[in-house]
Amino acid sequence: MARYQETTQTETLHIPPSITSRGVAATELRPWGAFTVLEEGRGYKIKRIEVKPGHRLSLQMHHHRSEHWIVVSGTARVTCGEKEVLLSNNESTYVPQCTSHRLENPGVIPLVLIEVQNGEYLGEDDIIRYQDDYARTKD
């Protein structure tokens, strides 16, 4: 009876650290709800955002990033520049960098959306607040 030995060749793909992602999954509470950073890598960050019914984020702008919002559940009222739209499940919108914007939940259930940020700098301190229901604007 013939015997054979099975060999498996494994190749390792080296991906430079500058383009690899790192899972974060850190949740931060805010007066309007919460956000969880799901993943972050060079030039992008993905968040899950939950906005309580009747609440809204500040009217704000970012110098260094754009944002793409995809509604998972609930209803979003989005102000982007001079335009205001209502979005529901599986609808999305794009917020260009240096554009004033606001996210609101006009509904009675929590608004859940996925936010994809793109830009050279994605820190939370890149927020210029023009108006805020929770007194977080700088005077």
- Residues 53-98 pLDDT 10s: 999 999 999 999 999 999 999 999 999 999 999 999 999 999 999 9
Residue 43, Ramachandran bin (φ over 0: left; ψ between -120 and 50: alpha; else beta): left
Check residue 136 and give its pLDDT.
Answer: 79
pLDDT computed for residue 30 by the predictor? 94
Q: What mean pLDDT value characterizes the chain?
A: 88
3-class SS of residue 31: coil
Residue 106 has pLDDT above 90, yes or no: yes
Beta-sheet pairing, 101-104 with 76-80 = antiparallel
Q: What is the pLDDT of residue 137?
A: 75
Which one is predicted more confidently, 22 or 46?
A: 46
Residue 10 pLDDT? 47
Strands 22-30 and 101-104: unpaired
Instruction: Return the pLDDT at 18.
Output: 45
- Reported as a pLDDT band with limits 50, 70 and 90, residue 26 is confident
Residue 127 gets the label, from left (phi > 0), alpha (psi -120 to 50) or beta, of beta
**Which ranges of the chain does DSSP label H, i.e. alpha helix?**
none
20: pLDDT strictly greater than 50:
no
